[in-house]
Amino acid sequence: MQDLPNLYLIGPMGAGKSTIGRLLAAELSRPFFDSDHAIQDRCGADIPWIFDVEGELGFRQRESQMIDELTQLPNVVVATGGGAVLREENRRALRERGTVIYLLTTVDQQLKRTAKDRNRPLLQCDNREQVLIDMFATRDPLYRATSDITVRTDRRSPRAVVNEILRRVHRLVDPLEIARATSKKVSQ
Which pLDDT belongs to residue 155? 87
Which pLDDT belongs to residue 124? 62
Phi-psi region of 25 (alpha: psi -120 to 50; beta: other; left: phi over 0): alpha
- 19-31 residue pLDDT tens: 999 999 999 999 9
Does residue 16 have a known ligand-binding role? Answer: yes
Full strand arrangement of the beta sheet holding 32-34: 32-34, 77-79, 7-10, 99-104, 149-152
Does residue 36 have a known ligand-binding role? Answer: yes
Does residue 167 have a known ligand-binding role? Answer: no
Q: How far apart, in whole angstroms, are the C-alpha atoms of residue 157 and residue 120?
A: 23
- 94 and 10 Cβ atoms separated by less than 8 Å: yes
Does residue 82 have a known ligand-binding role? Answer: yes
Does residue 19 have a known ligand-binding role? Answer: yes
Does residue 180 have a known ligand-binding role? Answer: no
**Would you kindly state where each structural domain of the chain is located, as residue ranges?**
7-187
Does residue 156 have a known ligand-binding role? Answer: yes
Question: Which of helix, strand or coil describes residue 65?
Answer: helix
Pairing of strands 32-34, 77-79: parallel
- 54-68 residue pLDDT tens: 988 999 999 999 999
Q: How far apart, in whole angstroms, are the C-alpha atoms of residue 27 and residue 166?
A: 9
Burial of 11 (0-12, 13-18, 19+ CB in 10 A): buried
Please give the class, per CATH, of domain 7-187.
alpha beta
The structure's pTM equals 0.87
Which pLDDT belongs to residue 175? 64
- 16 and 112 Cβ atoms separated by less than 8 Å: no
- 83 and 63 Cβ atoms separated by less than 8 Å: yes
Which pLDDT belongs to residue 125? 61
Low-confidence ranges of the chain (pLDDT < 70): 1-2, 113-126, 175-188
94: closest CA among 115, 114, 79?
Answer: 79
